[in-house]
Amino acid sequence: MNNENSEKEVRKYELGFLLLEEDSPIVKNLLEKRNFSITEEGEIVKVNLAYPIKKIQSAFFNFIQFLANPAEIIEFQKDLKGEQTILRFILLNLPFKEGQQSGGVAVLKSRGRQPFPKKEVKKPFEPVLTNEALEKKIEEILQ
C-alpha cells in the first residue's frame, strides 16, 4: 500500500544548472543514482556569466526535466550542493499531468540584447520670446 502511494506522489521537476566542464556527466549520474526518470534534456550551452561565480567568468548551462518522489528531493539537493563541478542550480516543481507533453524551456541562444525602444517625449510648444518680452518677464519676476 505504501509503495502505491509513493507511485502516485511522483512529480515532475526541472533542474537548471551551470557546470564548470562541458562533458561532465555528474548530474545524470546523481539522477540515475536516485532512480529518477529523465523525461527531457536540453542541449548544453556555453554562457558568459553576468558576474563572476567563484572567480569564473563563463560556464556551461543545461537543463533536465525528470520525474521524482518529492520525499527524495531534499536529499538530491544536498547531493547537488556537494558537487564541486556544479556552480549553481535551480530546481523547479513543474505541473504534471499523465500523458501530457512537456512545454520545455527555451534554451539560451547566443544573441545580443536588444535595447528597449525609446519613447519620444513631446514637449508643449512654446513661442519664442523677443528681447523686449524677455526683459518684461524678468522685471515681473524681480518685483
pLDDT value at 82 more than 50: yes
Average pLDDT for 131-137:
89
Q: Is 75 left (phi over 0), alpha (psi -120 to 50) or beta?
A: alpha
Indicate the helix (H) or strand (E) that contains 133: helix 131-142
Task: Please give the Cα distance from 57 to 140 (Å, whole number).
Answer: 62
Q: How far apart are CA 123 and CA 132, in angstroms?
A: 24
Q: Is the pLDDT of residue 115 over 90?
A: no
Instruction: Tell me which DSSP letter residue 74 carries.
Output: H
Residue 109 pLDDT greater than 50, yes or no: no
pLDDT band at 106 (very low <50, low <70, confident <90, very high): very low
Q: Domains in the chain and their CATH numbers?
A: 2-94 (3.30.70.60)
In this predicted structure, the answer to whether residue 90 has a pLDDT above a threshold of 90 is yes
pTM comes to: 0.61
Highest mean pLDDT among 3-17, 95-109, 128-142: 128-142
Q: Is the pLDDT of residue 105 over 50?
A: no
Report the length, in residues, of the chain.
143
